[in-house]
Amino acid sequence: MTPLLSVQGVAKRYGAQIGCTDVSFDLYPGEVMGIVGESGSGKSTLLNCMAGHLSPDAGRVIFDTRAEGPRDTLTMSEPERRMLGRTDWAFVHQHARDGLRMGVSAGGNVGERLMAVGARHYGDIRHKALDWLDRVEIDAGRVDDRPTTFSGGMQQRLQIARNLVTGPRLVFMDEPTGGLDVSVQARLLDLLRGLVRDMGLSAIIVTHDLAVVRLLADRLMVMKSGHVVEAGLTDQVLDDPQHAYTQLLVSSVLQV
Amino acid sequence: MTGDSYNFAYLDEQTKRMIRRAILKGLAVPGYQVPFASREMPMPYGWGTGGVQVSAAVLTPEDRFKVIDQGADDTTNAVSIRSFFQRTAGVETTTATEEATVIQTRHRIPEAPLGEGQILVYQVPIPEPLRFLEPRESETRKMHSLEEYGLMHVKLYEDISRHGHIATSYAYPVKVEARYVMDPSPIPKFDNPKLNDCPAIQLFGAGREQRIYALPPYTRVTSLDFEDHPFEATKADHPCGLCGAGDSYLDEVIVDDAGGRMFVCSDTDYCESRQRQSHRGKDAA
Ligand SMILES: [Zn+2]
């Protein structure tokens, strides 16, 4: 089977500082990859390199495109990459404000990606927006309200709906539960797990929270100081960590 | 070049050449916003400095110049721009649309059909139609160059979701030759169909924002809409009270202290010429 995404030898430096280095892995359709590490471990740098927000110094990020099969997204033209960014790829930001248009209604936020790819029937767009609000458990009565009037958890759910409405084949998530209250996190995780399962989503989730990957990720990469120190099936890595750093991470969670 | 002609139409020849280059570029790429180095004019921004600079660059001594403000030739703004060019260029002026060779306008397109050889110069306050939802200029420029116009429909979506219909009635966005999305300046959407396939040259000047864009004659201009909410060029559903015209854009005016109102043509030249031809509305004296 062709990997949906094949990351090969990706490296990014900031001057003399290593952002991330020598990262390689394959993601297959329907798989969720978790990338864990503390802040400064290079996980966000890696995510942004893969999603095209940063250009790495070395490596290839090969995506199995619909039209032309596997292509290195780093050497694509900007229009091609932007097109990918609003069709087959989605990016869920940690801060919903970075991923939403705060001056546009919830329905408009969800509808934007549809309109960006040519939807021109108001009734259809509205119908899909309402359907997606329902799927992320936002009351239909809020469809015309702006996200500024939403709670943090609702904003994040709206961001997810806005990203998934066009049925992307790969979703990047940057700390999707970060900054939310614990009870709100639990509800969001539940929702994400349902969506991942129902839609067969392929996703790459960056987080410092082992509970998030435990629930969502099939496979796991542990990063420290820009390097991948351990990788494997999520349960294996968490139940039987091999690297001293992973053992430290796991034990610190278990002590709580 | 003599000392007298140096100041023809106020601007120096070098500046006019620079503006003409921007106009030519605009005509070559219809709907594309061409940056230009806007000059200080002896009037404040917001008083049509963009339009005035474009007019200055296209006027020749043989031209007949007309200025309208919201359709009227006799507002302070229209009078002062007209007299400015009378003074600095010595051109003939007129209020008759058919007789004018260059028409500078704010917020209207004349009712009388324009013809080949005429130039319509629009005063533009905000040239960027995407700005409402995307304030970053680096981003809007990219959206234009990559033809990423989904956001324009988000604006119309918001309109319908809030009002039940597309409530945008001025500065209604258009697509030019199926390529660039353009702000037609704050003309009423009633005028949008006149942008399309127009035999005259249409030039748009934004002074404060330093942008010029253009529609060459017979350019295809379509108003954005949804399949289930098609564009409609609406106006007040009345005939003109003075000339009885049923096809012109109307202003509602208060006529007496008792709050009496009537609808009259916003295009004063159109209305007066109809009255001269003995057309009468129900409120005509
Ligand atoms: Zn009239």
Instruction: Quick: pLDDT tens for B120-135.
Output: 999 999 999 999 888 9
Residues of B in contact with A107 (CB under 8 A): 157, 161
SS3 A146: coil
Distance between Cα B71 and ligand 1 center (Å): 11
pLDDT of residue B199: 98
Please say if the pLDDT value at position A140 is more than 80.
yes
Distance between Cα A113 and ligand 1 center (Å): 46
Cβ contact, residue pair A116, B158, below 8 Å: no
Beta bridge partners of A110: none
Per the annotation, the verdict on B243 as an active-site residue is yes
pLDDT of residue A255: 62
User: Measured between alpha carbons, how far is B240 from B266 in angstroms, rounded to an integer?
Assistant: 9
Please say if the pLDDT value at position A233 is more than 60.
yes
| B212-222 per-position pLDDT tens digit | 999 999 999 99
Q: What is the pTM of this model?
A: 0.90
Diameter of chain B measured on Cα atoms? 61
Least CB-CB distance to A122: which of B146, B148, B226?
B226
The percent of residues above 90 in pLDDT, for chain B, comes to: 87
Stretch B158-179: mean pLDDT: 96
Cβ contact, residue pair A116, B160, below 8 Å: no
8 A C-beta contact, residue A73 and residue A52: yes
**Roughly how many angstroms between the first and final C-alpha of chain A, as a whole number?**
41
Cβ contact, residue pair B151, A108, below 8 Å: no
Per the annotation, the verdict on B198 as an active-site residue is no
Please say if the pLDDT value at position B154 is more than 70.
yes
Task: Calculate the average pLDDT of chain A.
Answer: 94
Of residues A224, A198, A207, the one with CA closest to residue A41:
A224
User: Measured between alpha carbons, how far is B263 from B252 in angstroms, rounded to an integer?
Assistant: 5
| B192-242 per-position pLDDT tens digit | 999 999 999 999 999 999 999 999 999 999 999 999 999 999 988 999 999
In the structure, what pLDDT confidence band is assigned to residue B2 with cuts at 50, 70 and 90? very low
Nearest C-alpha in A relative to B163: A144
Give, in words, the CATH class of B3-129+172-223.
alpha beta
The CA angle B175-B181-B183, to the nearest 5 degrees, is 100
Q: Does A74 touch chain B (CB under 8 A)?
A: no
